[in-house]
Amino acid sequence: MAYILLLFLPCVFSARARTFVPGYETVTSNEAFKESRKVLTTTGKECKFPFRQGGRIHHHCITFLSSRPWCSLTHNFDRDRKFGFCAAEKTRQGVFSTFNICRPNPCLNRGVCTAVPQKHSFECSCPENFTGRLCEHKKCYETIHLHYYDTGESWGRIHLRNVEQCTCMAGEIKCERARYTKCHSNPCQNDGACRLIIATGKEVCSCQRGYSGRYCSIEPETECYNSRGTGYRGVVGTTVSGARCLPWNSDLLYDELHVGTVVASPLRGLGEHAYCRNPDGDKMPWCYTLNDSAISWEYCDVPPCVMPVSSSRLFNIQPSNKKPKPTKPGKKHVCGKKHKKRLSFARGRIMSGTSALPGTHPWMAAIYIGKSDFCAGTLVSSCWIVSAAHCFFRNPLKSQIRVVLGQQNSTSPIPTPGRLEWKSTSFQTSSQCLIQHCMTLFWSN
């Protein structure tokens, strides 16, 4: 692998671990992203938008690691590894301007419109209780499962001691009694009773008082967490910044911690919901979010049940003859310690690596060269960054190079405390440099 060393001044260590912009965020179904016109590959296959690649969500053809635009043939390229090169689009006359495409707002029921200039179109982010391309379809809320079901979706339940098979029709729940038998095994938690619907072969649960959810694993009345919150089973689904959580069974969570990768996931509180949990023993409940089209995570807005030491100690005015002990220095921050929110084993990727969650590696550097080129580097010392040499084979001007530490969004570099500008740069190449393993040295005066 080719390397390049970068030395820059002034030196900046501090970088925010994760930055989120509070706002109106929703989880939308694939149906909500379907465009009025399809994008095809050179072989005539349809591109699937949005698709996940490298932990990011894309809504158009990309040129990552390729000079030709390409797209994924499934909604999850990281998992399925199926792609095709996008066919060249013919210039169309009278294409509407994306500047005013969201004015007036075409999204219904308080949906949020976002322009997609690359596709001359838009997408709607719908509230949780609506779906569809324009958020025009109302979902059905099942109070027993605490879950929204899409139009046409069916499920079983036990309601007033009756076993029923229900379907969401035009925003209304329609149920019929169903024949049932005993379950072969009981997936219901917290002493819930199980019944097996004969027609579908699926188990349904009747929960004890104080528990809800498909498998009686949710405690709606729980308002706080104990210790680290590994046993928290409440219904908070927002983070400290106000971002909405992704469901733990989301197809976007490919190599993260989710119901398909965590051992005994139901016992860890994971399921077909978007409530805050702590399956990895972190310091408090957390969840995954979509942050500017990137999969990230954040701690949740759940208070601890046991608050810090009571302020009543401030009123203890009893005199004491004991000499105050000298205060010990505070515990130093640990540099370079990451949060393990991904699986410990690596799946097949470029160079057998895995893409990093935004902000979890503050020593990572984003290197912007000119208007379109982007590379990554690693902070190996207080002022040194290692990156690939091929990123600089065009000998860019010093004014074209920008370095940002700990940045989350690689597509929109903005001024941050971790942003560094080049002042003075020299360029040297060894006479014994090989093309494959060339080392180039940059430094600043």
Residue pair 149/140 in contact (Cβ under 8 Å)? The answer is yes
Written as six digits, the tokens of 131 are: 């779906």
Alpha carbon of residue 61 to chain centroid: 20
DSSP 8-state assignment for residue 46? B
Q: How far apart are CA 39 and CA 71, in angstroms?
A: 9
Residue 161 Cα distances to 80, 204, 212, angstroms: 43, 12, 15
- Predicted pLDDT at 236: 95
Count Cβ neighbours within 10 Å for each residue of 193-226 and write b for 16 or more, e otherwise: ebbbbeeeebbbbbbeeebbbbbbbbbeebeebe
CATH number, domain 222-306, options 3.40.50.1000, 2.40.20.10, 3.30.70.120, 1.10.10.60? 2.40.20.10
Mean pLDDT taken over the chain? 73
- Predicted pLDDT at 407: 60
Residues of the chain with CATH 2.40.10.10: 361-407
Residue pair 257/339 in contact (Cβ under 8 Å)? The answer is no
Residues of the chain with CATH 2.10.25.10: 139-206
- Predicted pLDDT at 426: 41
318 exposed, middle or buried (CB, 10 Å; 0-12, 13-18, 19+)?
exposed
Residues of the chain with CATH 2.40.20.10: 222-306
Q: How far apart are CA 252 and CA 293, in angstroms?
A: 11
How do residues 423-442 score in pLDDT, each as one tens digit? 444 444 443 443 344 444 44
- Predicted pLDDT at 399: 75
CATH number, domain 361-407, options 3.90.1300.10, 2.40.30.10, 3.20.20.370, 2.40.10.10? 2.40.10.10
The class (CATH top level) of 139-206 is mainly beta
Measured in degrees and rounded to the nearest 5, phi and psi for residue 177 equal: -65, 145
pTM above 0.75, yes or no: no
Mean pLDDT for each 10-residue chunk of the chain (445 residues)?
41 31 35 55 89 81 85 87 84 46 89 78 85 91 92 93 94 94 93 95 94 93 93 94 88 75 82 91 90 82 78 43 48 47 44 48 74 74 72 73 67 46 44 42 44
The set of residues, in sequence order, having a beta carbon less than 8 Å from that of 310 and lying 6+ positions away, is none
- Predicted pLDDT at 99: 52
How do residues 334-359 score in pLDDT, each as one tens digit? 444 445 576 544 333 233 344 455 55
- Predicted pLDDT at 388: 75
